[in-house]
Amino acid sequence: MPVTLSELQARELQFLAPYAQKSAESRGRVHTENPPTWRTEFQRDRDRVIHSRAFRRLEGKTQVFLNGSGDHLRTRLTHTMEVAAISRNIARALRLNEDLAETIALAHDLGHSPIGHKGESMLDRLMKDHGGFEHNRQSLRVVEELERKYPLFPGLNLSWEVREGLAKHGVAFEVVEGTRRRQHHQTSLEAQLANLADEVAYYSHDLDDGLDCGLLDEKKLLKEVRVWAKAARAVKRNFGELPAESRRYYTIRQIIDQQVVDVVNTTESHILEAGVRSADDVRTHRKALVHYSPERRLENLELRKYLYRNLYYHPVVAEPNNRAIRMLSEVFQSYIAHPKELGLAARKRIAADGLHRAVCDYVASMTDRYLIQEHHRLFGLKLG
């Protein structure tokens, strides 16, 4: 017999920690729907994210290197999948809701602009007098408004808990209970860990891509970055001398393992100290509970600074990205001057959202490739 929704919910009650977010206790959706038959609410959310257009477009968006720079380099999509995998692992270790953590991770970059964080900064500058741009807010906008697949509502109509996790910066989801309003200081533990898994993924995998392209050097990493040195020593101790590709792979793997172990142990300690007994206890707690240890946080800051000096600002990375963000700016301003050049769906939103927001939504949704194609179409030449 196929598994039923009630059986899936019973499994959560049996196996998850008291402070995990149970799908049966979801605050629901903006638009009421019949419950799923063989999935929990969060599993339905995950499937809706994966089947969205915004998710598919992540394949063509920059992570660090301009999309198309190399066959093995990460895109925004492969990064997202790696964040989801790490989120599930941490959630499982802490007996939290893996489906919720994975769904938040899969959706966390749906609103990201083309050309990575430089593209995001440029859009924010162009929208300075019109509400600004920030990719977390845009991800929420994508799932609440911009995706148009269903006949009875806009967006994906995701559960409250997933949207809470996407908001993540600031208190975006105040709870109304009768005549009382309850202020949440934090998001769920699942949302907190998905946020931290993002950092675990991009630092370790940016190292991997930088080494693969020859922009980073293992000998310098051994001298200057403690995170790398610890992991490299562990690999050599366990496996001896390895060929270069295996050595780099296992060192990156060791870094991720060390980060995950640190987060799990530190977070477990914080949960016990806080004495939280429910998901809402977590939300009303004054401080976030998912953290690195203080030592690991300092080591990660050292790694972050190293990557900025040696990878993110490297001419091989920065110059193509800088040319592309100039294209983004010119395309944006061309649409403002000539709105008829926008896609049909974007033109329809001008009346409700205003010209600048409609243009921003349209440009933010583009892949790197489509942005460059649009620049060529609008201006008839390549940017020098």
Nearest alpha carbon to residue 196 among 251, 125, 259, 120 = 259
Q: Which of 271, 293, 318 is the last residue of a domain?
A: 318
Task: Please tell me the predicted confidence (pLDDT) of residue 218.
Answer: 93
Euclidean distance between CA atoms 86 and 96, whole angstroms? 13
Phi, psi (5° rounding) for residue 288? Answer: -65, 150
Considering the domain architecture, whether residues 222 and 340 belong to the same structural domain is answered as no
Mean pLDDT across the stretch 178-195? 80
Considering the domain architecture, whether residues 254 and 330 belong to the same structural domain is answered as no
Has this prediction a pTM greater than 0.85? yes
Mean pLDDT across the stretch 182-201? 91
Considering the domain architecture, whether residues 80 and 97 belong to the same structural domain is answered as yes
In this predicted structure, the answer to whether residue 146 has a pLDDT above a threshold of 60 is yes
Q: Is residue 327 part of a domain?
A: yes
* Tens-digit pLDDT profile for residues 253-291: 999 999 999 999 999 999 999 999 999 999 999 899 999
* Tens-digit pLDDT profile for residues 192-248: 999 999 999 988 889 988 998 899 999 999 999 999 999 999 999 999 999 999 999
150: domain CATH number is 1.10.3210.10
What is the residue range of 107's domain?
Answer: 5-29+36-318
Task: Please tell me the predicted confidence (pLDDT) of residue 187.
Answer: 94
In this predicted structure, the answer to whether residue 57 has a pLDDT above a threshold of 80 is yes
In this predicted structure, the answer to whether residue 72 has a pLDDT above a threshold of 90 is no
Q: Is residue 64 part of a domain?
A: yes
- Band (pLDDT 50/70/90 cuts) for residue 139 is very high
Task: Please tell me the predicted confidence (pLDDT) of residue 170.
Answer: 44
b/e code 235-261 from CB counts within 10 Å (16+ = b): beeeeeeeeeeebbebbbebbbebbbe
Task: Please tell me the predicted confidence (pLDDT) of residue 168.
Answer: 66
Mean pLDDT across the stretch 45-51? 98
Euclidean distance between CA atoms 279 and 124, whole angstroms? 34
CA 41 to chain centre: 20
In this predicted structure, the answer to whether residue 378 has a pLDDT above a threshold of 90 is yes
In this predicted structure, the answer to whether residue 249 has a pLDDT above a threshold of 50 is yes
Tally of structural domains, the chain = 2
Task: Please tell me the predicted confidence (pLDDT) of residue 182.
Answer: 58
Mean pLDDT across the stretch 63-72? 69
The H or E element containing residue 177 is strand 175-177
b/e code 309-334 from CB counts within 10 Å (16+ = b): ebbbebeebeebbeebbebbbebbeb
Q: Is residue 289 part of a domain?
A: yes
* Tens-digit pLDDT profile for residues 306-363: 999 999 889 888 898 899 999 999 999 999 999 999 999 999 999 999 999 999 999 9
Q: Is residue 105 part of a domain?
A: yes
* Tens-digit pLDDT profile for residues 37-47: 999 999 999 99
Phi, psi (5° rounding) for residue 318? Answer: -70, -40
Q: Which of 269, 296, 318 is the last residue of a domain?
A: 318
Nearest alpha carbon to residue 260 among 293, 284, 215 = 293
Let me know: does 100 contact 160? Beta carbons within 8 Å: no
Task: Please tell me the predicted confidence (pLDDT) of residue 88.
Answer: 98
Considering the domain architecture, whether residues 268 and 190 belong to the same structural domain is answered as yes
In this predicted structure, the answer to whether residue 171 has a pLDDT above a threshold of 50 is no
Considering the domain architecture, whether residues 342 and 214 belong to the same structural domain is answered as no
Q: Which of 318, 339, 367 is the last residue of a domain?
A: 318
What does 81-133 look like in DSSP terms, one character per residue?
Answer: HHHHHHHHHHHHHTT--HHHHHHHHHHTTTTPPSSHHHHHHHHHHHTTTTT--
In this predicted structure, the answer to whether residue 384 has a pLDDT above a threshold of 50 is no
CA 13 to chain centre: 28
Considering the domain architecture, whether residues 22 and 139 belong to the same structural domain is answered as yes
Considering the domain architecture, whether residues 117 and 234 belong to the same structural domain is answered as yes
Q: Is residue 122 part of a domain?
A: yes
What does 280-324 look like in DSSP terms, one character per residue?
Answer: HHHHHSSS------HHHHHHHHHHHHHHIIIIITSHHHHHHHHHH
Euclidean distance between CA atoms 82 and 99, whole angstroms? 15
Considering the domain architecture, whether residues 258 and 285 belong to the same structural domain is answered as yes
Mean pLDDT across the stretch 94-111? 97
Considering the domain architecture, whether residues 289 and 332 belong to the same structural domain is answered as no
Nearest alpha carbon to residue 44 among 101, 100, 105 = 100
Q: Is residue 384 part of a domain?
A: no
Task: Please tell me the predicted confidence (pLDDT) of residue 172.
Answer: 47
Considering the domain architecture, whether residues 49 and 115 belong to the same structural domain is answered as yes
In this predicted structure, the answer to whether residue 29 has a pLDDT above a threshold of 80 is yes
Considering the domain architecture, whether residues 275 and 339 belong to the same structural domain is answered as no
Mean pLDDT across the stretch 9-32? 96
Let me know: does 107 contact 190? Beta carbons within 8 Å: no
- Band (pLDDT 50/70/90 cuts) for residue 383 is very low
Considering the domain architecture, whether residues 212 and 323 belong to the same structural domain is answered as no
Mean pLDDT across the stretch 152-175? 80
Euclidean distance between CA atoms 168 and 181, whole angstroms? 19
